Structure 1
Amino acid sequence: MTMRSEPIPASTPTDAAAVVEQLPVGIFRTDATGRFIFVNPAFCRLKAMPAEQILGRTAAEIAERESADAASPWRPEFAAQAAVQHASIMQTGQTIEREEAWPAAGTGGAQRHVLVVQSAVLGPGDRPVGSQGILFDISQRRQADQALAHERELLRNLLDHSPDHIYFKDLDSRFIKSSAGQARQFGMPTPDGLVGKSDFDVFSEEHARPAFEDEQEVIRTGMPMIGKVEKETWIDGRPDTWCLTTKLPLRDRDGNIIGTFGITKDITELKAAEREIAVVHKQLVEASRLAGMAEIATNVLHNVGNVLNSVNIAAGMVGDRLRNSKLKGLERAVGLIDEHAGDLGDYLTQDPRGKLLPTYLRDLAQALRAEQVAMADELATLAKSVDHIKEVIATQQSYAGASCVVEAVNVGELLDDALRMNAGALTRHKVEVVKTLVDLPALMLDRHRMLQILVNLISNAKQALNGLSDREPCIRLHAMLAGEAPARVLRISVSDNGEGIEAQNLTRIFSHGFTTRRNGHGFGLHSCVLAAQEMGGVLHVHSEGADLGATFTLDVPIEAAEGQR
């Protein structure tokens, strides 16, 4: 097959004019005097003026008419610069470039930047007969340049002023750029001194080798290394330092890994602080252990002290009965019998005093029986108090993990025992006690913890009544079952009409060591809360304010207690 090439026809003047008309760049031509003799549509758009208002005029003439508009592309300074450059072109025939900028319409104040390239129009003998030029809209390029310059400025500020070490490395882990702070620590006057060097030039093998291997792993896998704590050892013998390092892959525009970059924060002081904190923490643990032991001892003393009041009363009453015992009468009667051992029959039947002896002995026997019963009751109370003291001590000895000893408890008897242990103080201060007890079955409870709480609450209520002069001191005890199965609780409340509790103290009343009394220690209520929590219960307090009394309410889960049998 024969192929024949046709010659491409030469473009006609009409075609050339069409190209000029449709080019996206502004094109103009002036005569020897600088008057515009041709402008294309793109020029008119850039200059925001139709051709008929441009042709036949110089830039200065147009600027004079537009001088009132500060945003006009035809500002006088542009016209003056164009006139000078046109004159230079007419004289030398050289091409000249200049830039112009003015606010672009509809852009909210953004600048339009235009590059003007102007050259001579040559006539016969290659003499300039006018000038011609092209206007390029370089606004986007300018914005990109400004954005790039801004980013470079930000990076430069970061590198110059950051206290952290910021660095960029090539594929061989050699520095290509670093922050000024890093350069100074590495002994370089400027960051440029680090270019081409590696960690092996400043660190010992102990640190430089793992750091190099980390960077090579980042390059190989593309996975960053985030927040690694490292110990830095230096070849110049300075003390070791600690740092927190993050390293990431450095990529080019096409996404290819060309090195690494990272940031290292000096945490030497932080590590020193951590060591100090560890020492202090160890000391605090030991102090806390000792403080916990002291708190246990304090609670033991406080709770035992409450029970000792009852012990003292019971022991005192036993002592009083022994001192006042009828036993001496029995001794005298026995003495009389011994005196009349030879005539005992006559003595008992004939002697007036002897006749009274059998009746006296009968009455004496009854009195001694009553003494025995009374002392037996006091000794039983004393034994209960001693048992409770032993249980308090045993419970506090295993404070954190004390197991609950659950038994069937008569709540009424429990309240009576708690009142009996406070009986001396209540009687001495003539405190009225009102006990309201609904018909309750025997409940499975931790008797000794319950007793510890009630003894404390009653003692605390009695102390709140000290100094009352405008009312009769009164403590009210109330016990009932509350809630619905399976969340039923035994609810016991202890109320007094004493000094009350101010609102700001309600949230602190159970805190260890908090007290509002001059001689108080702040241990009793705190130990009550702990005991309630150990039984799975809660202890609440309510008071309307100062001088309005207070009510402490203990809720103990019945089902939880039953489950501990």
Structure 2
Amino acid sequence: ERILDNIFKWTLALMGKASLGEIRLLDKETNELVVRASQGGVINPDYHRISIDEGITGWVARNRRSMSVPDVSQDSRYLAFIEGTKSEIAVPIMKGQEEIFGVFNIEYPKISAFTDEDVRLAEAIADLASIAIENATLYEEIQKSRDELNLRVKERTAELKAAYDISEATHHAKKLEDIYPKIHEIIKKLIPSAENNFQIGIYDYTKESFNYDPFVKTRTFPYFRDEFESAPPSKPVHIEKGLSDYVLQTGEPLLGTPEVLAELSAQKKIKRIGKHSKSWLGVPLKTQDKTIGVMTVHSYDEDVIYGKEELDALLFVSEQVAMSIERVRRKKEKAVLTLGKVLTSSALRNENELLQRIYNNASELMDTDNMYIALYDSQKNIVRFGLAYKGGRKINTNMEEMEEEEKGYQPRPFGKGKTEAIIQSRKPIFHPTKADAEAWYNRPEHYAYDPGILPSWVGVPMIIGDKVLGVIATYHPEKEYVYSESDVEILQAMANIAAIALENARLYRELEERADKLRAANREIAEKEELLTRSMLASDFVHDLNNLAGTIPVWANILKEKTEDLIFSIQRDVNKLLREGERLKKPALKEDIDMSALLQSLFNNIRLQYYANAEIEMRNKISEDLHSVQAVKAHLSNAISNVIQNGVESVLEKRAGTVKIKAENHTENDHDGVRIEITDMGRGISEENMEKIFEHDFTTRGEGRGYGLWRTKHTIEKYSGRIRVSSQEGKGTSVVIFLPRSKGIH
């Protein structure tokens, strides 16, 4: 507008007699010529906007030609915009040769006021005006784009800050309930009207074992803030036709303006209950195209109407919230797997330490201020408490040191409480409400021990094979719905791992006692060659024992789906060790060994032990027609197994890598035989340690190890074989074994 006003001033100064006129620019959307600047006289508002088909100005715009009208009263096309006009010049303002910007009108209150020279001057001014208008238009567009960009940058910065804050909240959260209030605080910064009205709803996937119909979906609102409505029940309810339910079922966002909500209600797609909000906005919480929940904001204020800006902000944050919810859920799964590795490690064999680790791990995932672990002695038919917490305080379960108020946790004969019912049924008991607990205790076969009937209680069995070792239970003395079905699943997974760990600890103690007896027997007859062999077998036995203790964690990873297979495999390994011990009583005999079958069996057994570990990859290329080798099968099997096991452990210490086994017929120094190459991409061996690896008792892996490679070298050379090792620290190790072909038993 300033530029157009200046054009008029320049024109008046140049012509000296021009005192009236206007500049009209073309509105391309309406195809109208609109006054953007005018000078002098009384204007007629009816002609502020005229069609390009009207008036002298319209004719000039359509034909892109200038026109001089000496007497406007004689031209029927004239529209009297400025009062007092007698003569007029109208010239087009062009952009290039074809595109028109508008029309420049110069008027005067006398007839025949303008000459041809005035027309040419007006055309020259119009050309300059065209350039000025184009530059001004570009400037305005750039300014508008910059303003829009600055606004978007500000909005995007706020969204990214929200995403970061949600990620931080998730990182420090132990439970989902911990992050919901923080999410609300973040949403309020993006949508201030959400301060008093914000909800998060979550799909509740319960299990059939808790009387759940798998074809009926339910949801809960773990976080609910509304300035008028009270929070719904915390128990799962069926999804029906509420606004949140609509978003959950469709998986699509809903911008609920009054018109949209009225239309959905008329179509019976939603059923509005409670106090009606004036504006409502809901977005689904999705992970990998799966809807896991809904997040909503709404307002009862008629002046607050949500639009695309609020929708985009909530959609962006919803992605972060969904990922955060899944991340916290994965934390629970990871915590269970971590517990499995810890409980079944060879270093943790004390019962009290095992039970304390279970409690500590469970405390990270659920309320365990009141928790106990009961152990069942089937021979004495009593229940004793290995660990107990009450009100967050650890109870001393030692009978001799137990205080009077702790007497409820002393050993008791097998009775009629929930603990005994779980042991008998081998199934969990879950009472989310006091009414559930009362219904259970109303049966005559049940009895309520201290602390009586509770509003929230869950207990799960610790089972291994056909034995129930005990029960893990936790409760809340005041609140209902403290625990969910997912908590039951987690607690059961922990109980299954605990059962294996407790059984492993017992088996380990028994095996250690037997190993001590075997070693004592071997020392008495160590002077004879056969006794030396038996001594080596005893050491093999101890070595296998340590390997068994170190590889047990794999069973925890496949616990949930393959408990029976797991137990069978553990018992098989234990029985194998015991059979090896019995062989000490018999002389070891050489035989022709099918090397293809032996190596394939060793590979399969070790791969099975570690198949659930994503950090290690095992490969083999074993020829099916390998020569036979004459040896004591147990000795040779143990020697080769030691090398493979060392490779696997080296890869695990590095946290990732591959172990390869290659075997083929080979001729070395004119002797036919079998060449076995075992390569790992583990941490490798330092130059300093390469000189010591075959020394007896040398190890880098802790006390009680260091026997395997010494025994392997002794065995390979005993059967006229050779073993070579090459290694590069940080990159891996290669072990090559050559064994001569069997010439038959004589």
TM bin (shorter chain): 0.3 to 0.5
Q: Which has the higher contact order (CA 8 A, sep 6+)?
A: 1
Q: Which structure has the bigger radius of gyration? A: 1
Task: Please report the TM-score for the alignment, with normalisation by the length of structure 1.
Answer: 0.33
Task: Please report the TM-score for the alignment, with normalisation by the length of structure 2.
Answer: 0.25
